[in-house]
Structure 1
Amino acid sequence: MSTFSILNASNVSQTDSLEDSGNWTAVTQFTQPGWQIALWAITYSFIVITSIVGNVTIIWIILAHRRMRTATNYFIVNLALSDLLMSTFNTIFNFIYASHNVWYFGEEFCRFQNWFPITAMFVSIYSMTAVAAERYVAIIHPFKPRLSAGSTRVIIGIIWLVAFGLAFPQCFYAEITTDNGTTKCIVVWPDDVGSNTDQGGKATYHIAVIMLIYLLPLMVMFVAYSIIGITLWSNAVPGNHLNRVRYEHQVNAKKKFVKTMVVVVIIFAVCWLPYHIYFILGSFKEDIYQQKYIQQVYLAIFLLAMSSTMYNPIIYCCLNQRFRSGFKLAFRWCPCIKATEKDKLKLTSPSLYQTTHRKSRTTSFNTEAQLNEKEKTSFTLTQNGSLRCCHCTDFYYLYQNTMSFSY
């Protein structure tokens, strides 16, 4: 029995070889009527096509429009790329393997299939974590320097390198075996040799990977977005009317983006939870792989996990005006979709508010330069007897509004 394979049907595929005779083999062999395989194939194909089209469009929207090239959006590109590669190189091949219980694709691709899915999932969830961390710093600590393009590339590179290292054991121990004339792609851990147990290093690796690519980043994002939410939704806005309007515009934009990313994270967590539970149970209780309908269960769980690769573009399109305009531009050739000049301006030009604010900010700076020394340093006496600068609050909101925010 092979060990944990994050997106590998080998855990399921060997169940029919556990017994070579008797009625048990008859009820656990992975044979399906043609119509069932056709339905599964149509469903999986829909997910793959939707994922590829949606994620390619997201990458194009961000990279083809300078206005969209922010640190946060580069992490979204990384997330879209990992989802795109997952649906392209993993979903189809593992569906074929799980459906037919035969590995058709050779030893090298067997190693690749045991290595790349963990890599892609690690990149996906840590790209979301990077977005949460970047938003946390920008909103909770607005005076700290923002991530530069170079720093963003370094973080993305580190994410991929760590992902490669984490997935390497799966690749190293993957091999092709023959079972009753049928080719299998499995992961044979050292403690599997001459042992009928499924404990040891592979179970430890299984739990460690789930902690690193699921539980830990979800906990970090939960804490980050909780603090961000409390800050944004409970923050009072003192100051004059002009400052209040400016600040509320910034806060509303940030709220919309945070809501979008929270939905992305929740859907990711829900889609992958059954899959992780399935393999955790299988690590300690192998007989679940011997049940009569386990193939159908696996295909359904695998389908739910893979569907996570197609939801993000839909979420961005529904909840974000800029991405929605980008989708209109990308599919303007479709008769039912009309892209306007306004949609193009949303991706290439500053918003009307930011243009107006830039002009008003320039005017305010010119006016401030003409103020006398007494007005610049005016203070008021508070009720507790301390001095408060009349311009400190205004400066804080002015700084907040100079922060570029294009979501």
Structure 2
Amino acid sequence: MFLPNATRLLLGDLLPAVTGAASSTTGQEGAASGDYSPYSTTTMEAAHNDTTTIPDWWQPKILRPPNVFLSSFLSLLLSFTIVMDLVGNSFVIAAVTKNERLRNLGNIFVISLSVADMLVAVYPYPMTLIAILNNGWTMGKLHCQLSGLITSISAVSSVFNIMVIALNRYCYICHSLLYEKIFTGRNSILILIVTWLMTMLALIPNYYVTTVQYNPQVYTCSFVYTSSAIYAFGVMALHFLIPLTVVAFCYLRIWILVIQVNHRVKVTKPKFMLVDVRNFMTMFLVFVLFALCWGPLNFIKLARVFDPLGIGPSIPEWMYIGSYYLAYFNSCVNAMIYGTLNQNFRKEYQRIVRNTKESAYYFVVDLQEQIHEMRMRRKPTYAGARRIQGDTYL
């Protein structure tokens, strides 16, 4: 919660005198150790206390030293992620909507997951790319808050959609009779709406407990949970641990059933086809890669908040930055998984590419013909040129 303007002005005159000695001592220790961390607690407190130069949202008091290699690598990685995210997930949505074999109730949640992944490529990732190129956040408070909010919506809705997909596959394979009652057309739409409502409700407490702040280490705006360790653990449990535990349980039960069928063990469940197993493998890999991409970032954040052994400051900066951009990269991998493991998606991708090439070819040919016609209209004929020349001499 931020202070009123009058209070901030008063504190701006008093705090420098009070905290000057402490900050100078801390600065000498930091300089002696040679450890620079613009996102450290000391720097954040100094940024909050310095109200004469810092607005009412957090901005690092000390700019990050420019690193051409790191900036170039992160900008290229993020640019690749943005392009692949938009193109790949657009292909997924087009494939599901146009292919009859893919147009089923279960893949509604696949489209929802693709939409969640595309949210970050439309707005937050480009904002982060601008911050990388400018070596700092120059877009102001509003863009920072919107970027952090949309990033959180995308991440939470992705894990909730993965959970719903796992429940859908679990009911379809392990409880086929129950599946027909639960996942009807109307119920599937309601479940989809509830999934996104749960995402919004899960993010509401963040605006009362914490705030969106710019992190110069990773050039991005995000919610900061350092104020309360218990709340940070609750957020991680609700947004990551509990949903993935449900997903792990569903896929474990499916794996057990698949193994029993392969070993010809008598089971009371209805038989399922080989294509169902392939679809299950595809979505299982989506879950595994999501856990691998987002797991390191969540556990590093949790270690920095609790830090019972004092290992938080010893975490290498490259590991912290890598965990962030590994999580960012997850938004573009699902489309690759579908195209690699699912034959229907792969054929539809090829058809979309082929149609796109044909459309582009005919567009270029038509454009060339139009340009040629325009030139012919502007170019006078030989008789017309003689007539114009004669009129001129008259």
For the pair shown, which has the larger CA radius of gyration, 1 or 2?
A: 2
Query: Among residues 314, 317, 321, which one is paired with 2:336 in the alignment?
Result: 314
User: CA shift at 1:209, angstroms?
Assistant: 1.7
Tell me the residue number matched to 1:143.
Answer: 177
Alpha-carbon deviations, 1:123-147, whole Å to 9, x = none?
Answer: 1112111111112212222223251
Counterpart of 1:164, as a letter, is: M
User: CA shift at 1:324, angstroms?
Assistant: 0.4
> Contact (CA 8 Å) 1:19, 1:25: kept in 2 or not?
no
Structure 1 residues 291 and 230: alpha-carbon distance in aligned structure 2, compared to 1, 3 A threshold: closer
Tell me the residue number matched to 2:189.
Answer: 153
User: CA shift at 1:237, angstroms?
Assistant: 10
Correspondences of 1:114-125 after superposition (within 5 Å): 114-125=148-159
Counterpart of 1:278, as a letter, is: I
Tell me the residue number matched to 1:63.
Answer: 97
The CA distance in 2 between the partners of 1:161 and 1:102, in whole Å, is 33
User: 2:242 matched to 1:205?
Assistant: no
In structure 1, stretches of 5+ residues that fail to align are 3-15, 190-197, 239-246, 336-407
The secondary structure found in structure 1 opposite 2:350 is helix
Alpha-carbon deviations, 1:9-61, whole Å to 9, x = none?
Answer: xxxxxxx9995566169641521332331122112211221111101110111
The CA distance in 1 between the partners of 2:105 and 2:31, in whole Å, is 59
In structure 2, stretches of 5+ residues that fail to align are 3-22, 39-63, 265-269, 358-394
The aligned length equals 297
Tell me the residue number matched to 1:257.
Answer: 279
Alpha-carbon deviations, 1:341-384, whole Å to 9, x = none?
Answer: xxxxxxxxxxxxxxxxxxxxxxxxxxxxxxxxxxxxxxxxxxxx
> Contact (CA 8 Å) 1:232, 1:251: kept in 2 or not?
no
> Contact (CA 8 Å) 2:144, 2:213: kept in 1 or not?
yes
Alpha-carbon deviations, 1:258-277, whole Å to 9, x = none?
Answer: 11111111111011111011
User: CA shift at 1:288, angstroms?
Assistant: 6.8
> Contact (CA 8 Å) 1:139, 1:228: kept in 2 or not?
yes
Structure 1 residues 24 and 57: alpha-carbon distance in aligned structure 2, compared to 1, 3 A threshold: farther
Tell me the residue number matched to 1:392.
Answer: none
Tell me the residue number matched to 1:231.
Answer: 257
Query: Among residues 174, 187, 190, which one is paired with 2:211 in the alignment?
Result: 174
Moved more, 84-93 or 257-266: 84-93
Structure 1 residues 290 and 229: alpha-carbon distance in aligned structure 2, compared to 1, 3 A threshold: closer
Tell me the residue number matched to 1:401.
Answer: none
User: 2:278 matched to 1:270?
Assistant: no
Moved more, 319-328 or 250-259: 250-259
Correspondences of 1:350-365 after superposition (within 5 Å): none
Structure 1 residues 297 and 92: alpha-carbon distance in aligned structure 2, compared to 1, 3 A threshold: farther
Question: TM-score under structure 2 normalisation?
Answer: 0.66
The CA distance in 2 between the partners of 1:234 and 1:61, in whole Å, is 33
The secondary structure found in structure 2 opposite 1:69 is coil
User: 2:31 matched to 1:23?
Assistant: yes
Query: Among residues 77, 83, 86, which one is paired with 2:111 in the alignment?
Result: 77
User: CA shift at 1:219, angstroms?
Assistant: 1.4
Counterpart of 2:199, as a letter, is: A
The CA distance in 1 between the partners of 2:26 and 2:75, in whole Å, is 29
User: 2:61 matched to 1:35?
Assistant: no
> Contact (CA 8 Å) 2:66, 2:135: kept in 1 or not?
no
Tell me the residue number matched to 1:48.
Answer: 82
Structure 1 residues 33 and 151: alpha-carbon distance in aligned structure 2, compared to 1, 3 A threshold: same
Query: Among residues 280, 284, 305, which one is paired with 1:283 in the alignment?
Result: 305
The secondary structure found in structure 2 opposite 1:112 is helix
Counterpart of 1:43, as a letter, is: L
Question: TM-score under structure 1 normalisation?
Answer: 0.64
Relative contact order: is structure 1 or structure 2 higher (C-alpha 8 Å, sep ≥ 6)? 1
> Contact (CA 8 Å) 1:119, 1:163: kept in 2 or not?
yes
> Contact (CA 8 Å) 1:174, 1:185: kept in 2 or not?
no
User: CA shift at 1:92, angstroms?
Assistant: 3.5
Tell me the residue number matched to 1:104.
Answer: 138
> Contact (CA 8 Å) 1:115, 1:168: kept in 2 or not?
no
User: CA shift at 1:188, angstroms?
Assistant: 7.5
What is the root-mean-square deviation in Å for CA atoms of aligned residues? 3.6
Counterpart of 2:296, as a letter, is: P
Alpha-carbon deviations, 1:295-333, whole Å to 9, x = none?
Answer: x33321111111111111111111111100111011115
Tell me the residue number matched to 2:365.
Answer: none
> Contact (CA 8 Å) 1:114, 1:174: kept in 2 or not?
no
User: 2:214 matched to 1:214?
Assistant: no
The CA distance in 1 between the partners of 2:327 and 2:191, in whole Å, is 26
